[in-house]
Amino acid sequence: MIPYPEISPVIFRIGPLAPRWYGLMYLLGFLAAYFLVRYQLREKGYRDLEPHLDNIIFWGALGLIIGARLGHVLFYFPGYYWKHPLEVFAIWHGGMSFHGGLLGVLITGLIYARKHQLNFWFWADLFVVPAPIGLGLGRLGNFINGELYGRPTDVPWAMVFPKGGPIPRHPSQLYEALGEGLFLFMIMWFLRKKEWPCGFKFATFLVAYGVIRFFIEFFREPDVGVPLLFGWMTRGQQFCLLMVIAGLLLFWIKRKGEKPCKPYL
């Protein structure tokens, strides 16, 4: 067993100012998205699109945060938040859903693209390349917070999490940081120059993320109070299965699409 490195969720305190590691991970994820999407735009010879990037990052970040919080509230614990409505706004208490955040980003991205006559799929293909960096950093934030820990185990690298009782558990946050983060980023970065039809890279991300997380969920402790489908499938696995189906459908729909993908409609 490996001792859990208890790290304070708060980086430092100066009076009422108390930035947290989890928030820093979000910020670093947004910065990675900005610089790596800008790098891809310049790589493709579209420097003139960088002003749109600034706006998309802003609206996408807003959609991500709102969607992630509402996803947690509506998909996982609607009963609790119905009784404690003010807790919906207490994001510092934790509780952000990736699938809700994805929906939030897609909605804000679609609205912005339609308003400015941009090709939504062109931008979606760009943003899914650095997206795993933010996902991996977010899981590191979960690890520091000691939340979303794994199921009981006797593997040599098991850890005892303060919020998980005295039982050694899988450090599943680290599994996800490596799988959904580093490994998936390597895949998407390798594929970034592929001249595929619009939406193919986004579809690849949906399928790859869905498969990776579906598997890792077997090592993660299911959320208390959230029923399992068929007695074993977690809520996260259910949404991942939908992601895989959506990705495969997108492959089929876009199989004869424009190639190479252009930024404008």
Q: Binding-site residues, please? A: 139
Cα–Cα nearest to 199, from 112, 114, 131, 260: 260
User: Which residues on adjacent β-strands are paired with residue 10?
Assistant: 20
Under DSSP, the state recorded for 219 is: G
Structure tokens at 176: 């996800």
Angle between helices 50-71 and 120-127 (to 10 degrees): 70
Dist CA 51 CA 48 (whole Å): 7
Distance CA 185, CA 20 (A): 25
Cα gap 134→32, rounded to integer Å: 7
Q: Residue 214: enclosing H or E segment and its boundaries?
A: helix 200-216
- Listed residue (120, 81, 100) closest to 242, CA to CA: 100
C-beta neighbour count of 36 within 10 angstroms:
20
SS (H, E, C) 146-157: CCCCECECCCCC
